[in-house]
Amino acid sequence: MTTIRHGIHLSGVDSLFMKGIVIYESLTGNTAKAGFAIAEEMSKAGIQTTACSTKAVDLQALSDADIVVIGTWTDGLILLGQRPGGVGRLAQLPAIEGKKTAVFCTYAINAGKTLEKLSGVVARRGGEVIGGATIRRDRIKPSSVEFVDRLLGALEVA
């Protein structure tokens, strides 16, 4: 394929051939908002991406995805004991064995080790974690754009 609409090359493969999915766990809507912003940015870069909740995972989109992005919110005592919200549902995600995955979490004040813990959950499901971001809830759009930029970079060298 010689025509590249978005001018992005990933590992020598046109990103237009790639597919993605963003799976989010959200209580009050922030992580869902970030999930949709991330899916939109990935799609703009030529990676056809669907966003869905952990409560209704699009299994076909998951099975077709070359890159899986998983996000949740920070649960804890604000400055202490932070952990991924809804971790029970996250631990039961359908297997993502061998797929490239990236993680993100939204937070209010301090995400603590939420991202590391979420990476652990995803790795135990078989995902190959290639990147992650903490997204403050009042910076959802710019942080989501920045995250996808970095993700595209990581895919390029992967």
Ligand X SMILES: Cc1cc2nc3c(=O)[nH]c(=O)nc-3n(C[C@H](O)[C@H](O)[C@H](O)COP(=O)(O)O)c2cc1C
Residues that bind ligand X (CB under 6 A): 26-32, 73-78, 82, 106-111, 137
Choose among 45, 74, 51: nearest CA to 148: 45
Instruction: Considering the complex, state which of residue 45 and residue 103 has its C-beta at the smaller distance from ligand X.
Output: 103
Instruction: Considering the complex, state which of residue 45 and residue 69 has its C-beta at the smaller distance from ligand X.
Output: 69
Tokens of 95: 């297997």
**Shortest distance in whole angstroms from residue 55 CB to ligand X:** 12
User: What does the alpha-carbon distance between residue 133 and residue 135 come to, in Å, rounded to a whole number?
Assistant: 6
Contact status, residue 61 vs residue 22, Cβ threshold 8 Å: no
Instruction: Considering the complex, state which of residue 48 and residue 74 has its C-beta at the smaller distance from ligand X.
Output: 74
**Shortest distance in whole angstroms from residue 12 CB to ligand X:** 36
